[in-house]
Amino acid sequence: MGSISSTASGTDGAFQVGGVEPGPGFHAALWSGSAASLIDLNPVGFAVSEARAVRGGFQVGDGTTTEAFNSATYDYHALLWHGTAASVVDLHPVGFTRSQAVGLSQGKQVGWASNPFAGLDSGFVPHAIVWAGAAASAVDLHKFLPSTYQNSTATGIDALGNISGYAENGDGVTVAVLWVPVTKRAR
């Protein structure tokens, strides 16, 4: 596939992900070390997509059904792939307008989902989200923060399920956040 431009967003050492612009539109892409290994991950029905992270044979990112990928009014969905465009799983959680997946590990995916901020057409309020491979599995991590926090984003997850990210408090200060899973205690 010839392309106008390309970007790389992540690697797991064996594979690389990002996007290519074959024109028109930007397509999520997967490589294994060379341009010739390119796999176009753009799903049927999506005009634009981009892969953002790769691990364990899976890729995450986002896509939209409209060509206006840089428009403030388009809605995009978090996506999960397993090496092909046909394998795509739409992770977009019910009740949100936009979502994006940016990290993954051990069968979990992390990112954010948002809705428009009241009174602002282009202002969106993200909430950190963790998924387990399906839209219905989405957990809004923002609810575990103090009520003074206005927005949050999950940026990574490790093999133990610890989720890193950031949140903005009521004073407009952004702080690093770590969500730690609750484990069952032995009796």
Pick the closest to residue 151 from 167, 140, 165 (CA basis): 167
Which residues, 6 or more positions from 143, have their beta carbon under 8 angstroms from its beta carbon? none
Burial string for 1-36 (b: 16+ CB within 10 Å, else e) reads eebeebeebbeeeebbbbbbebeebbbbbbbeeeee
What is the mean pLDDT of the segment spanning 33-43? Answer: 94
Q: Does residue 51 contact residue 19 with C-beta atoms inside 8 Å?
A: yes
Q: What percent of the chain has pLDDT over 90?
A: 70
Least confident window among 71-85, 114-128, 134-148, 154-168: 114-128
Q: What is the pLDDT of residue 127?
A: 95
Report helix, strand or coil for 180. coil
Q: What is the pLDDT of residues 77-133, one digit of tens each?
A: 999 999 999 999 999 999 898 999 999 999 999 999 998 655 444 567 899 999 999
**At residue 71, does pLDDT exceed 90?**
no
Q: What is the pLDDT of residue 63?
A: 94
Domain ranges in the chain? 5-147
Strands (DSSP E) along the chain, which ranges?
5-11, 16-21, 27-31, 39-40, 48-55, 58-64, 76-81, 89-90, 98-105, 108-116, 124-131, 139-140, 151-157, 163-168, 174-179
Least confident window among 3-7, 41-45, 148-152: 3-7
Report d(CA 177, CA 93) in Å as an integer: 22
Q: What is the pLDDT of residue 125?
A: 86
Counting other chains too, the contacts that 30-33 makes at CB distance below 8 Å and 24 or more residues apart are: 30/54, 30/59, 30/81, 30/83
Q: How many CB atoms lie within 10 A of CB 174?
A: 12
**At residue 67, does pLDDT exceed 70?**
no
